[in-house]
Amino acid sequence: MTKIKSIRTRVWSWKGPTVPPIGNFCTNASDALWDKGDAMASFRFHQWLTCEVETEDGTIGIGNAALAPTVVKKAIDDWFAPMVIGEDPFDYAYIWEKMYRRTHTWGRKGIGMTAISAIDIAIWDLMGKLTKKPVFKLLGGRTKEKIPVYYSKLYSGSIKSMQEEADKEKQNGYQGFKARAGFGPKDGPKGMKETVKRIEALREVLGYEVDLMLDCYMGWNLDYAKRILPMLEKFEMRWLEEPVLADDLNGYAELNAMGIIPISGGEHEFSVFGCHQLLEKKAVSVLQYDTNRVGGITAAQKINAIAEAYQVPVIPHAGQMHNYHLIMANVNCPIAEYFPMFDVEVGNELFYYIFEGDPVAKNGYLDLDENQPGLGINISDKYLNSFDIIG
């Protein structure tokens, strides 16, 4: 069997036009600080990392990472690549454990686990290409005719603009809609009322036959969330996402135990152990790891099995092919998040500008091609002039 001969990392820095930030766009963990300027700035992803793992026969698997890509690149180039080169890609479990255990003192979360994720995703893409099968077939096969998706945008703005966006996108048959909370503890009771107004306005447009979710992006705290949850109860929301800091597992558990609105989270959790803690504490009713952070497809598939045993659905953060293949192959992954193609704003949109092959949702569903080996994406040359590329 062919062995891994090289690993190439590149950082793609967007230099094209971006949508300018607006006030009360989305709460975030930095809101608690006294600060001047755009508090959301450090949470915009205008860089992305690609990781290409090549075997001796010239086959290339493609992985990626969005968190701190310049630092992740350094970690892969200096630490992880030397461990992986020379290995058989089909020994993916051994490769994963080797990367995890040999960097355990510093790599078990954050930058290290993100680097492991990028390499692991590339290895799964590689295995699919070498066997001429899509990744979801390697994971167990099709569990759905098509993948239902929910619309993920509705950033906080004026009530009118949010209603217009919801009304327009309702025509596309999405199974649910996720909005962003624009007001948090620093805005006090007045901000709570503004949040309630927006959720009420969205329900007026969407009705109650589709799911509605609200993402706080770690911008609230336990006290604030406990006060506002009863105000939101009547809107029958599918979930409230990341209401507190990712490290506040007890806060998640307390809010979830209130039984008012299901609490979701896990986007900023790392590894099988981290996700198991969320499940064991009954901290979330919906688990939302991101495959390119949590440890790649190898770790994600283990987490899916654990979550299924707890009967907690897994709905990975963001769309993107590495998540879609896991959703297709797992009954306990009922729906996918879907960011439509859009001008670069937060940065999730960059996936469409760097890669080609991501499926487009039609009438609220997307499908994966059974004849497309691997993940089914390639690095595009269409927008090369809009990036500065390192590597």
- Taking 90 as the threshold, does the pLDDT of residue 348 lie above it? no
CATH assignment of the domain containing 104: 3.30.390.10
Do 44 and 158 lie in a common domain? no
Do 187 and 128 lie in a common domain? no
Domain boundary among 132, 154, 169: 132
Are 178 and 143 spatial neighbours (Cβ–Cβ below 8 Å)?
no
Least confident of 36-50, 156-170, 277-291: 36-50
Specify the pTM: 0.96
Domain boundary among 88, 107, 132: 132
What per-residue confidence (pLDDT) applies to 315?
A: 98
Do 325 and 229 lie in a common domain? yes
Do 191 and 52 lie in a common domain? no
- Taking 90 as the threshold, does the pLDDT of residue 363 lie above it? yes
Determine how many CB atoms are found less than 10 A away from the CB of residue 246.
Answer: 17
Q: Is residue 123 part of a domain?
A: yes
Least confident of 30-39, 52-61, 227-236, 325-334: 30-39
Nearest to 144 by CA among 331, 321, 303, 336: 331
Q: Is residue 333 part of a domain?
A: yes
Do 161 and 70 lie in a common domain? no
Do 88 and 149 lie in a common domain? no
Are 275 and 303 spatial neighbours (Cβ–Cβ below 8 Å)?
yes
Least confident of 16-20, 114-118, 119-123: 16-20
CATH assignment of the domain containing 339: 3.20.20.120
Q: Is residue 96 part of a domain?
A: yes
Least confident of 80-94, 246-260, 331-345: 331-345
Domain count across the chain = 2
Is 317 a known active-site residue? yes
pLDDT more than 90, % of the chain: 90
- Taking 70 as the threshold, does the pLDDT of residue 263 lie above it? yes
Least confident of 29-38, 200-209, 284-293: 29-38
- Residue 193 structural domain: 138-380
Mean of the pLDDT values across residues 224-231?
A: 98
Nearest to 335 by CA among 360, 306, 315: 315
Domain boundary among 92, 107, 132: 132
What per-residue confidence (pLDDT) applies to 20?
A: 79
Beta strand spans in the chain (E): 4-14, 47-55, 60-65, 147-152, 176-180, 211-215, 239-241, 263-265, 286-287, 336-338, 355-356, 365-366, 378-379, 387-390
Per the model's pLDDT, the better-predicted residue between 364 and 341 turns out to be 364
What per-residue confidence (pLDDT) applies to 24?
A: 75
Do 118 and 178 lie in a common domain? no
pLDDT band at 38 (very low <50, low <70, confident <90, very high): low
Do 102 and 145 lie in a common domain? no
Q: Which of 46, 268, 276, 317 is catalytic?
A: 317
For residue range 165-214, what is the model confidence (pLDDT) as tens digits? 999 999 999 999 999 999 999 999 999 999 999 999 999 999 999 999 99
- Taking 90 as the threshold, does the pLDDT of residue 42 lie above it? no
